[in-house]
């Protein structure tokens, strides 16, 4: 029976995430997972176990769980912002005005295996600037 339980728990991540420094099990259930298997001498953790104190600690952890989740979410957002900043550091933004002539990227350019296939499609004029980085185009033939 215990072997089946251990086999099912081995697939779970039992180490803290690098981003939040929290255990996934802890973020979901409010506590750290402990595998209930003792081989030979029981551990100090098992010897010093007190049921009432454990219940009180579990209630405290469950009360603090929303704060831990919020902290983990803030850490994840900060990491995503840093990654976005690093990604966008080398990005050259271009803006166009009404009447500019442009080439549009061919939608099938990435699907073709032929390296001599044109990557750009037709000649277009910007008819209207709808919003940031989005334009209505007029095809020139």
| Residue 7 in this model has a pLDDT that exceeds 50 | no
pLDDT tens-digit readout, 19-37: 666 766 666 666 665 566 6
Over residues 77-128, the pLDDT tens digits come to 999 999 999 988 887 878 888 888 888 877 665 555 666 777 777 889 988 8
**What does the H/E/C string look like for the chain?**
CHHHHHHHHHCCCCCCCCCCCCCHHHHHHCCCCCCCCCCCCCCHHHHCCCHHHHHHHHHHHHHHHHHHHHHHHHHHHHHHHHHHHHHHCCCCCCCCCCCCEEEEECCCCCCCCCCCCCCEEEEEEEEEEEECCEEEEEEEC
Q: What is the pLDDT of residue 79?
A: 94
Q: Given this model, what pLDDT does residue 86 score? A: 92
Query: Phi/psi at 117 (nearest 5 deg)?
Result: -75, 140
Global confidence as pTM: 0.43
């Amino acid at each position: 029976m215990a072997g089946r339980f251990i086999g099912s728990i081995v697939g779970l991540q039992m180490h803290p995430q690098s981003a939040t420094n929290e255990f996934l099990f802890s973020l979901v259930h409010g506590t750290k997972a402990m595998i209930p298997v003792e081989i030979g001498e029981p551990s100090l953790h098992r010897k010093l176990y007190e049921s009432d104190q454990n219940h009180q600690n579990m209630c405290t952890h469950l009360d603090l769980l929303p704060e831990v989740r919020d902290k983990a979410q803030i850490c994840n957002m900060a990491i995503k912002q840093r990654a976005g900043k690093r990604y966008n550091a080398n990005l050259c933004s271009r803006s166009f005005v009404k009447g500019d002539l442009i080439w549009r990227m061919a939608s099938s350019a990435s699907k073709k295996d032929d390296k001599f296939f044109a990557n750009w499609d037709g000649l277009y004029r910007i008819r209207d600037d709808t919003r940031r980085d989005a334009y209505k185009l007029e095809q020139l033939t």
